[in-house]
């Protein structure tokens, strides 16, 4: 598999980053909704539900941090390998604009989601040792602690970034739906190489 992108196919670093991040982000969104809303329903025992919620949230923060780091690598790679496959020649102008805006939006969300999650968790009263002696720090896989840009215990900012995190999640779901619908339209209706050139061993067809 080639390293560099060309005008007709993606190189392996772009493919690897795209698919690893897609799996992580979709997994984070699904487990995020579960841990924030359904643990009490899934675990009838309250202690079990709280433990599961805390454990899942710490895993969520850790994988969210990985998304942020991979996002930085992806932007760097996009910068150093700026040639990317173009849309098929006959694609109408409005579709080119829609695709550009969707991709741009997805790139922005790759950063807004982890950053809002980090700021919300930093400001959270649960991270404030004075108010909550069992303090839940923001650990990454139990290995190191994320710094706190906001002093823990700021309910207003915790609420604000929580809202940003949740609404960014809704926007992500909407853009992802458009993104996948567009790709499937190219693959099954227009029958071009837009999907296959992004697949692990796919190229032009």
Site residues (vs ligand HEM, CB under 6 A): 18, 22, 25-26, 28-29, 32-33, 36-37, 57, 60-61, 64-65, 67, 78, 84-85, 103, 106-107, 110, 113-114, 117-118, 121, 138, 162, 165-166, 169, 176, 179-180, 183, 194-195, 197-198
Q: Given CA atoms 99, 101, 103, 106 in this order, what sign does their dihedral have?
A: negative
| Cβ-contact 104, 62 below 8 angstroms | no
| Cβ-contact 61, 139 below 8 angstroms | yes
| Cβ-contact 197, 9 below 8 angstroms | yes
Helix (H) or strand (E) holding 127: none
- Least distance from C-beta 7 to ligand HEM, angstroms? 11
Q: Indicate the residue among 23 and 129 with the shorter CB distance to ligand HEM.
A: 23
Q: Indicate the residue among 84 and 150 with the shorter CB distance to ligand HEM.
A: 84
- Least distance from C-beta 157 to ligand HEM, angstroms? 13
- Least distance from C-beta 20 to ligand HEM, angstroms? 10
d(CA 195, CA 90): 17
- Least distance from C-beta 35 to ligand HEM, angstroms? 6
Q: Indicate the residue among 45 and 88 with the shorter CB distance to ligand HEM.
A: 88
**97-129 burial, b if ≥16 CB within 10 A, otherwise e?**
eebeebeebbeebbebbbbbbbbbbbbbebbbe
Q: Indicate the residue among 36 and 160 with the shorter CB distance to ligand HEM.
A: 36
Q: What is the end-to-end Cα distance of the chain in Å, rounded?
A: 16
- Least distance from C-beta 24 to ligand HEM, angstroms? 7
Q: Indicate the residue among 133 and 174 with the shorter CB distance to ligand HEM.
A: 174
């Amino acid at each position: 598999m080639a390293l560099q992108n060309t005008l007709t196919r993606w190189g392996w670093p772009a493919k690897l980053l795209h698919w690893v991040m897609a799996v992580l982000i979709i997994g984070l969104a699904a487990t995020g909704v579960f841990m924030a809303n359904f643990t009490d329903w899934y675990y009838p025992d309250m202690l079990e539900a709280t433990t599961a919620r805390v454990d899942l949230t710490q895993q969520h923060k850790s994988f969210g941090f990985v998304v942020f780091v991979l996002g930085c690598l992806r932007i760097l790679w996009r910068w150093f390998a700026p040639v990317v496959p173009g849309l098929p020649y006959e694609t109408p102008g409005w579709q080119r604009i829609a695709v550009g805006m969707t991709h741009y939006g997805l790139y922005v969300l790759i950063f807004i989601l982890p950053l809002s999650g980090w700021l919300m968790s930093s400001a959270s009263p649960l991270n404030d040792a004075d108010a909550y002696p069992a303090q839940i720090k923001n650990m990454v896989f139990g290995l190191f602690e994320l710094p706190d840009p906001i002093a823990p215990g700021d309910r207003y900012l915790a609420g604000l970034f929580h809202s940003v995190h949740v609404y960014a999640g809704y926007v992500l779901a909407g853009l992802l739906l458009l993104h996948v619908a567009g790709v499937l339209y190219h693959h099954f209706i227009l029958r071009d190489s837009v999907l296959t050139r992004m697949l692990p061993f796919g190229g032009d067809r």
